[in-house]
């Protein structure tokens, strides 16, 4: 991959991009075609023994003009899980199958692999169109084609609709973000390898900025982009793992932080990890963010001393996989082994620690701005984790605990988990709701145009943003509607379906 970046306006005129937007000058369409050629490109891979893939000629209307390939392990069980694997630029389905190591775990654990493939007819460097509005929206272009591949796999092999997963490298990692946001009802979990958050880029120029130096937005703004991708969807949301090399200068490590912020906020979690550990032969740093039931909702794996690519660890050991003869498959840790485990396809379950859930959680007192909680002691607990609305807010030594700084008339959900001396959490308690006293906050439901006209939001760049919190409300028009809550005075937050 070149170390320099070619500016879009200087891209060669021979580059061609499929379906440029109406009115787009030819030189900008050409730049779009070469976006990842300048930042994601890899040399043509060397020849190697090929993993046997099956081409599927027809899988629907295929609006994104993609190719579909399958890897079916011997002895595929009934109702198997399916993993969609998205290659990087200048790569192909075959290259990704040959080098990522995913097929070894499909053989071992019996799941189906779908390898979508884009072509030079779509993009001069065979990059998925994560930065093109015609391809990164639900029901459109490449995103819709990938969804149709999942449906075809289900029709042909009876795959389990509750066990559909997606992963990808670089431009394929960015497209993984697209699929998780646009189709949260399809994908149970995903793993983004050296990718960017959803909603960061809809243009060539924006994509450059997202990749390097990266874009810093609030967790709430990132989460709003995901939720706007499928309006009206109420969950459950996919679990997400993020893999990123510390030395990546193509898609800088800031993107791992922004992806974490995006998906922890979507899940209603804070941005401080609940568990950390070192994994693999290279000491990859793992951060985990736990859902209310103690399972891992979001995970960030930071791989030391590698640049831009898929981490692999060639060999025959149980935690080894992949090959390094092709650019951007980097010897370090077998990420596919750990991703397979994150998906739960290795037979393991995402379990909390060994301590039991505290019993008897109750709200023993409320004021206008506080809720006091009490619960029963757990033998062996060194401390407790208190969760409000899905986010951990405190780790007191014991009961009781008073949650302060709340708004009058607000209702919140609480749960508590015991922690051992190492900080590992056990199962969370049954949840309760508690409402502070006093008048509830004021709420307004209106389209974005009227929210702006009323002074509860501002418009910038075609989007509306809530005053105070600066949450992205989506397009500034009369078709997008949100409920805004004012608390405190002059500070507005999105409260769709939750405001009294």
CA gap 435, 437 in Å, rounded: 6
pLDDT digit string, tens, across residues 168-203: 999 999 999 999 999 999 999 999 999 999 999 998
Question: Is the per-residue pLDDT at 391 higher than 70?
Answer: no
Dig out the tokens for 432 from the structure. Answer: 């309760």
Which run of H or of E encompasses 114?
A: strand 112-117
Q: Where in the chain is the domain with CATH 3.40.50.1820?
A: 8-342
Q: Where in the chain is the domain with CATH 2.60.40.10?
A: 362-435
Residues β-bridged to residue 70: 54, 114
Report the SS3 class of residue 296: strand
Q: How many CA atoms lie within 13 A of 458 on its CB side?
A: 9
Secondary structure E strands in 18-99? 54-56, 67-71, 82-86
Of 110-124, 175-189, 464-478, 484-498, give the lowest mean pLDDT range.
484-498
What pLDDT, on a 0 to 100 scale, did the predictor assign at position 498? 67
pLDDT digit string, tens, across residues 421-466: 877 778 778 778 888 998 777 888 999 999 999 999 999 988 999 9
Task: Select which of 17, 92, 145, 170 is catalytic.
Answer: 170
Report the SS3 class of residue 405: coil
Q: Residue 389: which pLDDT band, with cuts at 50, 70 and 90?
A: low
pTM over 0.75: no
CA gap 2, 307 in Å, rounded: 12
Mean per-residue pLDDT of the chain: 86
| Site of tokens 């039931």 | 293
Instruction: Respond yes or no: is residue 362 known to be catalytic.
Output: no
CA-based nearest residue to 70, from 116, 107, 109: 116
> What's the CATH fold of domain 362-435?
Immunoglobulin-like (2.60.40)
Cα first-last separation, the chain: 53
Q: How much is the average pLDDT of 256-281?
A: 95
Q: What is the sign of the dihedral through the CA atoms of 396, 402, 408 and 412?
A: positive
What pLDDT, on a 0 to 100 scale, did the predictor assign at position 108? 94
CA gap 198, 205 in Å, rounded: 16
Q: Residue 130: which pLDDT band, with cuts at 50, 70 and 90?
A: very high
- CATH 3.40.50.1820 is held by the domain 8-342: yes
CA gap 376, 399 in Å, rounded: 7
Bridge pairing between strands 432-435 and 411-419: antiparallel
């Amino acid at each position: 991959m070149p170390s320099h970046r070619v500016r879009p306006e200087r891209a060669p005129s021979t580059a061609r991009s499929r379906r440029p937007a109406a009115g787009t000058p030819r030189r900008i369409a050409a730049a779009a075609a070469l976006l990842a050629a300048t930042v994601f490109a890899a040399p043509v891979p060397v020849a190697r023994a090929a993993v046997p893939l099956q081409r599927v000629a027809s899988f629907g209307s295929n609006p994104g003009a993609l190719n579909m390939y399958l890897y079916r392990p011997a002895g595929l069980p009934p109702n198997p899980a399916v993993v969609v694997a998205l290659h990087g630029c200048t790569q192909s389905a075959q290259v990704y199958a040959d080098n990522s190591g995913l097929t070894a775990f499909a053989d071992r654990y019996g799941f189906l692999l779908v390898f979508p493939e884009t072509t030079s007819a779509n993009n001069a460097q065979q990059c998925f169109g994560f930065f093109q509005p015609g391809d990164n929206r639900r029901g459109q272009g490449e995103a819709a084609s990938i969804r149709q591949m999942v449906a075809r796999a289900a029709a042909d092999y009876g795959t389990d609709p509750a066990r559909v997963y997606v992963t990808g490298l670089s431009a394929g990692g960015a497209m993984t973000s697209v699929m998780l946001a646009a189709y949260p009802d399809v994908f149970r979990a995903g793993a983004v390898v050296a990718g960017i958050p959803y909603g960061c880029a809809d243009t060539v120029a924006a994509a450059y900025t997202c990749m390097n130096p990266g874009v810093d937005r609030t967790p709430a703004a990132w989460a709003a982009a995901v939720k706007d991708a499928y309006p009206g969807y109420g969950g459950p949301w996919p679990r997400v793992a993020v893999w990123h090399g510390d030395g990546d200068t193509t898609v800088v490590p800031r993107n791992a932080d922004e992806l974490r912020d995006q998906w922890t906020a979507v899940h209603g979690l804070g941005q401080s990890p609940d568990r950390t550990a070192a994994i693999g032969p290279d000491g990859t740093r793992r951060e985990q963010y736990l859902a209310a039931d103690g399972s891992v909702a979001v995970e960030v794996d930071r791989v030391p001393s590698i640049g831009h690519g898929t981490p692999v660890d060639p060999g025959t050991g149980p935690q080894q996989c992949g090959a390094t003869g092709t650019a951007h498959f980097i010897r370090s840790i077998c990420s596919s082994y750990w991703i397979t485990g994150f998906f739960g396809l290795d037979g393991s379950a995402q379990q909390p620690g060994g301590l039991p859930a505290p019993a008897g959680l109750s709200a023993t007192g409320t004021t206008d701005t506080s809720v006091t909680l009490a619960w029963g002691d757990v033998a062996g607990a060194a401390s407790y984790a208190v969760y409000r609305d899905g986010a951990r807010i405190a780790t007191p030594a014991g009961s009781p605990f008073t949650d302060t700084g709340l708004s009058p008339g607000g209702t919140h959900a609480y749960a508590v988990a015991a922690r051992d001396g190492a900080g590992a959490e056990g199962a969370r308690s049954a949840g309760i709701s508690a409402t502070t006293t006093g008048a509830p906050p004021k709420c307004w439901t209106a389209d974005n145009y009227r929210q702006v006209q009323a002074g509860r939001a501002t418009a910038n760049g075609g989007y509306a943003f809530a005053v105070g919190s600066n949450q992205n409300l989506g397009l500034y028009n009369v078709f997008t509607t949100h409920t805004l809550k004012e608390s405190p005075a002059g500070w507005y937050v999105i409260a769709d379906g939750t405001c009294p």
